[in-house]
Structure 1
């Protein structure tokens, strides 16, 4: 069988490799009998990009299994995060929300793999080159979304709200907003602008879920196997990609703006779902917080 032409680069630079890492973790998780989430498209993104074409996409490709710090422990983290946020979005849709906005959508395929109401729209906001790469892979697969999918090309470090409304987003309608794996990579000012835009565009009944990081990490945490293995095996320095400046308190900001917020650790969801990373000494995940807000 002839090998299909590989789509041009678009996720091989900057924070793009992190999207590929999450896709590889989702691909591996998909083939587990006890999978927290399944994504049939994920392995195709991994194979299509130059930098990740040789990465594992199945548990049999990971000799140490879940003991592997990269595709085992970090993979469990990504799978757990995916499932928790899937359930949050579906809960919002169950309550009547008919707009979902994925901020920094990356290689997210929730528009395709979740059981959405027929009249729901999923807006995917990300850089044009990432969306173009994603679309080429999806076209090659002849993928069909389960909801109305609207890609919105915009840089989240700048003014993206106008592009979203121009794409058909309705500010007067409640929305389920999601910023998965995004805010730690943004400069503090961009995170503050993003929160203000979500507040401005988020009608009553809207929800927002996002990942935040406390910091800075200690030297022992920075030397944890999750970070060192990603650098050594993949050439991806996750710590260097995180914005180094002081982080804003977005949760306090949203609370002051009238949102109700709850803050969780990933380990709360490990207990809830019965599978996921458990705390370790000098844990790379100890600084992570998953925040859920409702207006």
Structure 2
């Protein structure tokens, strides 16, 4: 199946995770699904890795897998805090939500634990989600979680579903929350069904949507999203692909849908990387005639407050965080620059 540039770049990202696992003695991230999602982009990722080794020496981790690991940990830390807060409350069922916008070929719902009492939403363009579902199924990965016993399945929509069919699913539900079995039982049930890579959240929804055409709220609510619940929003390698005003409008939409305790984990390129992008040769997969990187971290930091978010601390580069958190050095992109990671809360 042909896929657009957005899909191809997300496959390159999967390719970098696969190369990191296969060729680094101490991989910074372990993702056994990545090679199945990378497709032909795996060869591009390997060629980049070999060039980096020649230019900067062996033994470092690739920067994209380092960023993936950092974002994984941001999400897990946020979920653990939210679930601790939920457990202290006497009302409610403790379910929290994760919404990963522009998920591409990321595999967090198949590799992060613990995810009990989590409803995980993945959103990307329909062509990307369709390809991802196909590749996941070919790899033996689960693409849907079990429906609630005796009730409608709100959390197991597939990439082939239209927004209208998602709305019908939501309308047909009785509104109850799905309470999962213990995490070990949840995984065991999928393994017994011949699933090689089980889904780890309690509920999972793949949401195919072009957010330039359909409002974020409509896409999510049709898939079972509940605005009153605390939500961890993930915008990894996404925002700077949008014009700054469009990115801020998306952030405002996320803020409007955020229940108490919600937070955002996101990335943005620094000014050096933004400028380096303009100098890439036309045949490069990130060249400006294929993709556009519209703004830098400095510009986003100045605008994010007006979109309803307050950054927690200062953004740090993936290289800085990999060194501080994991004691690992990372390769610098051959074209220079870095990507910054940050968290934010409604403010």
Per the normalisation by structure 2, the TM-score is: 0.68
Q: CA deviation at 1:243?
A: 3.9
- The change in CA–CA distance for 1:249 and 1:196 in structure 2 (over 3 A counts) is farther
Tell me, yes or no, if the aligned pair for 2:111 and 2:200 is still in contact at 8 Å. yes
Give the superposed CA RMSD: 3.2
- Equivalent residue number for residue 189 of structure 2: none
**Corresponding residue number in structure 2 for 1:5:** none
For residues 108-257 of structure 1, what are the structure 2 equivalents within 5 Å? 108-143=106-141, 144-147=198-201, 148-158=203-213, 159-215=215-271, 222-223=278-279, 227=280, 235-240=284-289, 241-244=291-294, 249-255=299-305, 257=308
Offset at residue 157 of structure 1 (A) = 3.4
User: Which residue number in structure 2 is paired with residue 3 of structure 1?
Assistant: none
In 1, Cα distance between equivalents of 2:129 and 2:266: 21
Counterpart of 1:9 in structure 2 is: 2
Match of 2:53 in 1: 66
Tell me the CA shift for residue 85 of structure 1. Answer: 0.5
Separation (CA, whole Å) in 2 of partners of 1:22 and 1:165: 29
Query: 1:212-234, CA deviations, whole angstroms, 9 ceiling, x for partnerless residues?
Result: 234476877755xxx45xx65xx
Q: Distance in 2 between matches of 1:140 and 1:182?
A: 27
Q: 1:188 to 1:119 in 2, by over 3 A?
A: same
- Unaligned stretches of 5+ residues in structure 2: 84-95, 142-197
Q: What are the ranges of 5 or more consecutive residues in structure 1 without an aligned counterpart? A: 1-7
The answer on whether the counterparts of 2:62 and 2:330 sit within 8 Å (CA) in structure 1 is yes
CA–CA distance in structure 2, aligned partners of residues 24 and 132 of structure 1: 18
Judge conservation of contact 2:242–2:294 (CA < 8 Å) in 1: no
**Separation of aligned partners in 2, 1:9 and 1:280:** 28
Number of matched pairs: 270
Establish whether residue 271 from structure 1 lines up as the match of residue 323 from structure 2. Answer: yes
User: For residue 80 of structure 1, what is the aligned residue in structure 2?
Assistant: 66
Decide which structure has the larger Cα Rg and report it: 2
* Structure 1 CA distance for aligned equivalents of residues 295 and 309 of structure 2: 27
- Normalising by structure 1, report the TM-score: 0.79
Moved more, 174-183 or 187-196: 187-196
Partner of 1:284: 337
Aligned position for 2:27: 35
Cα 1:42–1:193 shift into 2, 3 Å: same
Displacement of 1:211 in angstroms is 1.3
